[in-house]
Amino acid sequence: MKFKVHRDQFVQGVQHVAKSISQRTTIPILTGMKLEASAEGVTLTGSDSDISIEYFIPKEDEEHQYVEVFEEGSIVLQAKYFTEIVKKLPKETVEISVQDQFATTVMSGSAVFNLNGLDPEEYPRLPQVEEDKTFQIPKDLLKNLIRQTVFATSNAETRPILTGVHWQLNDEQLTCSATDSHRLAMRKAKINTNSSGLSFSNVVIPGKSLSELSKVLNDSDELVDVVVSENQILFKADHFLFFSRLLEGNYPATENMIPTEAKTSVILQSKRFLSAIERSMLLSEDNKNNVVNLKTIGNGMLEITSVTPEVGKATEEVTSEEMSGEDLRISFNGKNLIDALKVVDSEEVKIDFTGAMSPFVLKPTDHDHSLHLFSPVRTY
């Protein structure tokens, strides 16, 4: 293998891919970064086995030539050293060549580094993109889907499947849901599929992978290709591919948990409601007893209280925009409500209660593509 590449382009790619490489892995080859030179350009790959990132530097685009390939081939280089070296190269081009036994030379101007490479045959095989199982989604929508669901995943090891977000595609509608068994966040989106009738369910993506993905996507409305395979999901954007392993097992049914009727309904201004809950919880210690009590007090008013033993009680009143149905007194985890209200993209929300001991639903009033479900807190 031998190629010459534009340094800035190369550094950008290397840094991108390095994000997915961890030195703490049980599979030795994964401490390395894979470089592959082909007629089309240079591909860089990194993986911590949970997520993998592939970055492609094309030979040329309309304006520039980036890569000159003299000999096709591939090599795996120790990421720890390689990324450090690449950052410090002096000249505008870098030449990388592999000799016998994976000995590799990195050259830029007068700087020459000799590295011992690893056999690229040892590197994991990532799933191939099958164009017919692809659908497209704009980057900003994808980031929203992630932001509005990942927070509701569980971080407990006891039920690993709940650490992921469940994706389902049916009739060009993508449904993403996440729950830690105390609250549920659901977000739907209209999707264009390449092949009509593409559908899947029980695709459960680790929440951690989605958060990583969100970090590497820039804010734009460019389309991302999404490919679902048996064991991995793949996101294809600009010059890079992002892979994540899927979670094993069946995601529990969540559709039937959502009540369809309401005994008490309230419409509230999202921001005002959010800050009322936040203020009521000022006294409570973090992650300890986040119980908030909510009570209808007539005239469309709600009273929100939170009691912290030995510290005191905080009371807040909120005026609803609209209220109907029975009087109500309910307790819930205030932190969960805050989490949801922070990601709601609507001025107003509607909450449907079906009794003090039943789950309740929070929806934006502007649209019906997202929904949050909460379990009440029982006091005994």
Interface contacts to other proteins, rule CB under 8 A: 26-30, 47, 49-50, 52, 121-127, 157, 160-161, 163, 179, 181-184, 206, 230-232, 245-249, 252, 257, 289, 291, 309, 331-333, 357, 359, 373, 375-380
CB of 230 to other proteins, least distance (A): 6
- Interacting residues of 44 by C-beta distance below 8 A, sequence separation 6+: 13, 14, 16, 17, 33, 34, 35, 36, 54, 55, 56, 57
Give whole-number Cα distances, 158 to 155, 161, 163, 268, 374, in Å.
9, 9, 10, 36, 20
Nearer to other proteins, 44 or 76 (CB): 76
Q: Which residue has the tokens 């029975």?
A: 326
CB of 373 to other proteins, least distance (A): 7
Give whole-number Cα distances, 107 to 5, 55, 104, in Å.
11, 21, 10
CB of 290 to other proteins, least distance (A): 9
Nearer to other proteins, 161 or 223 (CB): 161
- What is the distance between the alpha carbons of residues 34 and 20, in angstroms, rounded to a whole number? 12
Nearer to other proteins, 2 or 245 (CB): 245
Nearer to other proteins, 126 or 338 (CB): 126
Other C-beta atoms closer than 10 Å to the C-beta of 145 total 23
CB of 110 to other proteins, least distance (A): 35
End-to-end CA distance of the chain: 70
CB of 342 to other proteins, least distance (A): 19
Nearer to other proteins, 183 or 187 (CB): 183
Comparing C-alpha atoms, which of 133, 132, 162 is closest to residue 149?
Answer: 162
> 201 in helix, strand or coil?
strand
CB of 11 to other proteins, least distance (A): 27
Helices (H), 19-154: 79-87, 139-147
Nearer to other proteins, 13 or 376 (CB): 376
Pairing mode of beta strands 370-374, 360-364:
antiparallel
